[in-house]
Chain A
Amino acid sequence: MSGSMIGGVDASIPLQAGRGVQQVNPLQQIGQYAQTQALINQNKLFPGQQQLQQQAIQSGATNLASLTTQKAYQSIAQLLALPPGQITHDAVTTALGSVEHNLGLPTHGVLNDIFATAPTGDGPAFDTKMRALLASRAQISPESAVAQVTPQTGPPISTGQATLPTTVNPAGLPNPGQINPTGSALPIYPSTDALMGQVTWEDGNGVRHYGTSAEYAAQRGIPGTSLGPAVPVQGSGGAPAGAAPSAFPAGYDGRLPQAQPAAGPTVASKPQQYGNLTLYGSPQGLTDTTGAAPGTAEVQGQSAQQYAADQRAAGTFASRVLPLRQSIDLLSNTDTGPGSQTLNQFRSFAVSMANQGLLPKDVTPDAIQQANFDELRKYMSNYITNLPFAGGSDARMAEAVSGNPNINLSTIANKDLAKVLVGMERFRQAQYLSFNQQHAANPAQAAGQYGPAAAQFATQYDPRAFAYDLMNPAERTKLYNSLATPEAKQRYRDSLKLAYGIPGLMQ
Chain B
Amino acid sequence: MPVAEAKPNPLAPARRQAPEPHPALRHAQIWQAAQAVPPDQLAGQTERASYATPILGALAGDPKVTAKDVIKAVASAAADGKIQPSAAVKLISSMPTDPDKIRPWLKTLYEANMSAAVHLKAATMKAAQPPSAPVAPAPAAPAGVNPLAAAPQVAA
Contacts and interface: CB of A to CB of B under 8 A. Distances in A.
A93 B121 contact: yes
Contacts of B54: 88-90, 121-122, 126
A250 interface: no
B117 A100 contact: no
Interface in A1-48: 13-14, 16-18, 20-21
B125 A93 contact: no
A482 interface: no
B125 A98 contact: yes
Contact of B126 (A101, A121, A123): A101
A107 interface: yes
Given A14-B148, A14-B149, A126-B57, A93 B27 contact: no
Interface string A109-129: 001101100111111011000
Nearest to A114: B114
Interface residues of B, number: 36
A130 B37 CA distance: 29
Contacts of B122: 96-98, 100-101
A16 B146 CA distance: 9
Interface of B, secondary structure class, is helix
B57 A93 contact: no
Given A97-B121, A119-B61, A90 B50 contact: yes
A97 B125 contact: yes
A118 to B, nearest CB: 5
Contacts of B56: 119
A447 B144 CA distance: 109
A89 B50 contact: yes
Interface string B110-129: 11001101111111111000
Interface residues of A, number: 33
B48 to A, nearest CB: 12
B148 A13 contact: yes
B53 A107 contact: no
B144 A20 contact: yes
A108 B23 contact: yes
B57 A111 contact: no
Q: Which of B55, B126, B149, B150 gathers most chain A CB within 10 Å?
A: B149
A102 B124 CA distance: 12
A88 B55 CA distance: 12
Contacts of B121: 93-94, 96-98, 101
The interface residues of chain A, by DSSP majority, are classed as helix
A20 B146 CA distance: 7
B111 A115 contact: yes
A247 B44 CA distance: 91
Interface in A79-103: 88-90, 93-94, 96-98, 100-102
Contacts of B148: 13-14, 17
A16 B123 CA distance: 45
Interface in B75-131: 106-107, 110-111, 114-115, 117-126
Nearest to B147: A13
Contacts of A18: 146, 149, 152
B24 interface: yes
Contacts of B120: 97
B55 A93 contact: no
Interface in A178-200: none
Contacts of B43: none
A21 B27 CA distance: 49
Contact of A119 (B23, B27, B50, B57): B57
B23 A121 contact: no
A89 B118 contact: no
B154 to A, nearest CB: 14
B33 interface: no
Given A20-B144, A93-B114, A119 B107 contact: yes
A98 to B, nearest CB: 7
A90 B120 CA distance: 12
Contacts of B55: 121
A89 B55 CA distance: 10
Given A13-B148, A90-B50, A114-B114, A97 B119 contact: yes
A107 B150 contact: no
Nearest to A125: B61
A363 B126 CA distance: 108
Nearest to B143: A21
A93 B50 contact: yes
A17 B118 contact: no
B58 interface: yes
A211 to B, nearest CB: 66
B21 to A, nearest CB: 12
14 contacts: A17-B148, A90-B53, A96-B122, A97-B117, A97-B119, A100-B118, A101-B121, A101-B125, A107-B118, A111-B111, A112-B23, A119-B56, A122-B54, A126-B57
Interface of A: 13-14, 16-18, 20-21, 88-90, 93-94, 96-98, 100-102, 106-108, 111-112, 114-115, 118-123, 125-126
Given A121-B59, A122-B54, 10 more contacts: A13-B148, A20-B144, A89-B53, A89-B57, A100-B122, A101-B125, A115-B110, A118-B61, A121-B55, A121-B61
